[in-house]
Structure 1
Amino acid sequence: MEELGAWRDRFRGCLVGLAVGDALGATVEHLAREEIRARFGVHTEIVGGGWLDLEPGEVTDDTEMALCIARSLVAQGRVDPEDIARRFVAWYLAGPKDVGRTVAAALIGIIRGESRDEAAERVYRAAPHRTAGNGSLMRTAPIALFHAWRPRELVQASLDVSRITHAHPEAMWACVALGQAITAAIQATAAPAEALLSAAAAVPEPAVRRAVEEAPLLNPDTASTFGYALNTLRIALWAVTRHSSFEDAVVAAVNLGGDADTAGAVTGALAGARSGLSGIPSRWLAALCGRAELEALADRLLDLAQQPAPRDPDGDDSAASRQRSSSSG
């Protein structure tokens, strides 16, 4: 019972931590670190504003897309990429305040009648150097929670759900790396930095492994904060492994500037999986919009994670089976 309580705290911490990091970072998104220092000294409070003119505690597309995935997992009881894609499309058509370019391009293709794979592949082939963004990394935490004790299925599902919008191997395998780090944090009695880094590095994509290996050496004064999946993965792993508390890790990540909401969201998901909801500052929890649903979804994901793996009625026609060979060399 005590162990179940710890898992519940960590599941809640992961989803709520994602949203907290998103809401904190959104205020300083697109600002250079020097601009943040000039305006805030150190940015530590959830106050809204920013280029999206958010209300205090309001979240961005990072959390909204993660919610689409979490709601689908709970409703379907399994990973259903078609259902997730439908939810992404409905969210997009509702007119969110912000949508990433790669996400928008893929979803527009689906709206126009392309299949999921056709849309993502078209976007990737049209500009492969521009499709390794962090738009699938930012939303992947619910996939990790659902597969917290099913590591093989975690790999397949992470690739499949990334591929709805992001078919670049680096973006896809970055999702796997983060998911494996989150599950290591969930399962550990005390998640040391080495365990998180080792879990994240256990992927066949060389660029992702290098990013994980480089994370502890990141220089916060010169680190790239452009919205590239491996930049964000590197920042999150650095922040969480160099800072022992949730607050210190997320503050460090968002104050680097640039794509600060996504750096905050990814760092918050990983740091929250380690610290649990109990490790997130109460002032941030009080400021956050939508906390109740996030906690309820986390509880349901914990229930589902402890059940036997559901069978996939569509068989093994997965992105994992398509990508393992092409991404391993």
Structure 2
Amino acid sequence: MFASTTTQQSADNPSIGLEQRALGAYLGLAVGDALGATTEFLTPREIREKHDVHNRICGGGWLHLKSGQVTDDTEMSLALGQTIIEKGEVEAKAVAEAFSEWMRSKPVDIGNTVRRGIVHYRNSGETSVQENEFDAGNGACMRSLPVAIAYWNARWDELVAASRAQSHITHHNKQADAGTEAILQMLRLAFKNAAKQELLDIANSLVESHRAYRFNRRSVDNPSGWIVETLQAVFQSFFNNDDFESILVDVVNRGGDADTTGAIAGMLAGAFYGVDAIPNYWLKALSKDVRISCEKQTFALLEVANESRH
């Protein structure tokens, strides 16, 4: 079992409300995406040579982004979130249509597995690709936050069904499902003021059922788009640091698929520490349109959760 080297209980703050935690998660996702996009596909050594320690939202990177611009992690989350708001639930066809429209907009970045899944939907009308042992990428997990918010107080089986309905449009893989659902469970617990040890228990349970996810070994640097390496890096950063900023700086300086490790670590840290823990200079650097969209969707998704459970 992995044991955090931080004093976990000291960071727990039950006075942070649900809205603050959900908003922290959504803005944390976008901030982590924008911060990590600069170091995506670099090695830790290359990052040190170029930035010393990368801790500013400044754009650039291999995508030549503007400062504060986000990538597919945030854009797909917003596309998914909008369909949940409109339908009051995760409706697979509506989500597939939203993803298809997003791809038609010529996004700055799109993963190969995501592209194949959307093309499959366009050609067949089917909202689930065939199960594939090689499709254990992180693309379904990175966009899953709207499900966690809209289903934060739903039965677990309802959340799992919703998660797989959106995930399997592009990623149909047991290993990816397990990792995504662990993140969703951790987010829900954070929304409910859980202690960090409770979130660590979820991560350790994932390791027990899927040994590949072990994260108590050497530091995972240059993590790939494989969800296992993504979550190993996220877990190490989240459980070995005591504040939002330290978690994000740790994970994006590992390089690799840094926009996605940043996005997932950001949503998890934002949910646990709340929106006020996100450095104001990062929020100010974030694209204004993205920030407003994340804020609006957070409250609308919480309303969906409220209405659907009453």
TM-score (normalised: structure 2)? 0.90
Contact 1:177 1:201 in 2 (8 A): no
Equivalent of residue 26 in structure 1, options 29, 33, 37: 37
Distance 2:16 2:272 in 1: 14
**% same residue:** 36
Q: Which structure would you say has the larger RCO, counting Cα contacts within 8 Å and 6 or more residues apart? A: 2
Structure 1 residue aligned with 2:218: 219
Contact 1:170 1:205 in 2 (8 A): no
Structure 2 residue aligned with 1:116: 127
Structure 2 residue aligned with 1:135: 139
Distance 1:4 1:147, change over 3 A: farther
The residue type paired with residue 249 of structure 2 is: V
Structure 2 residue aligned with 1:69: 80
Which deviations, in whole Å up to 9, do the C-alpha atoms of 1:121-172 show, x marking residues without a partner? Answer: 1xx54xx32x111111110111111111123311221122111100011112
Equivalent of residue 268 in structure 2, options 251, 270, 273: 270
Give yes or no for the alignment of 1:101 onto 2:107.
no
Which deviations, in whole Å up to 9, do the C-alpha atoms of 1:84-143 show, x marking residues without a partner? Answer: 1100000001111111000001111112234122xx11xx54xx32x1111111101111
The residue type paired with residue 103 of structure 2 is: Y
Distance 1:243 1:292 in 2: 28
Contact 1:27 1:51 in 2 (8 A): yes
Structure 1 residue aligned with 2:198: 195
Cα offset for 1:6?
A: 1.1
Structure 2 residue aligned with 1:80: 91
Give yes or no for the alignment of 1:299 onto 2:299.
yes
Structure 2 residue aligned with 1:168: 173
Contact 1:14 1:273 in 2 (8 A): yes
Distance 1:111 1:80, change over 3 A: same
Contact 1:176 1:203 in 2 (8 A): no
Distance 1:281 1:174 in 2: 28
Cα offset for 1:200?
A: 4.0
Aligned length: 294
Structure 2 residue aligned with 1:285: 283
Cα offset for 1:206?
A: 2.7
Distance 2:229 2:256 in 1: 11
Which deviations, in whole Å up to 9, do the C-alpha atoms of 1:52-104 show, x marking residues without a partner? Answer: 11000000001000111111111111111111110000000111111100000
Distance 1:74 1:66 in 2: 12
Structure 2 residue aligned with 1:316: none
Distance 1:41 1:50, change over 3 A: same
Structure 2 residue aligned with 1:324: none
Contact 2:91 2:165 in 1 (8 A): no
Distance 1:20 1:71, change over 3 A: same
Distance 1:276 1:5 in 2: 6
Distance 2:157 2:217 in 1: 30
Question: What residue ranges of structure 2 are gaps of 5+ in the alignment?
Answer: 1-13
Distance 1:168 1:92, change over 3 A: same
Structure 1 residue aligned with 2:152: 148
Distance 1:224 1:159 in 2: 28
* SS at 2:42 equivalent: coil
Structure 2 residue aligned with 1:90: 101
Cα offset for 1:305?
A: 1.9
Equivalent of residue 186 in structure 1, options 169, 188, 191: 191
Give yes or no for the alignment of 1:238 onto 2:236.
yes
Cα offset for 1:205?
A: 8.6
Distance 1:224 1:47, change over 3 A: closer
* SS at 2:124 equivalent: coil
Distance 2:204 2:97 in 1: 32
The residue type paired with residue 186 of structure 1 is: F
Distance 1:294 1:148 in 2: 17
Which deviations, in whole Å up to 9, do the C-alpha atoms of 1:238-267 show, x marking residues without a partner? Answer: 211111111100111110000000000000
Q: CA RMSD in A?
A: 1.9
Give yes or no for the alignment of 1:38 onto 2:41.
no
- Which segment is superposed worse, 135-144 or 194-203? 194-203
Question: What residue ranges of structure 1 are gaps of 5+ in the alignment?
Answer: 311-329
Contact 1:218 1:238 in 2 (8 A): no
TM-score (normalised: structure 1)? 0.85
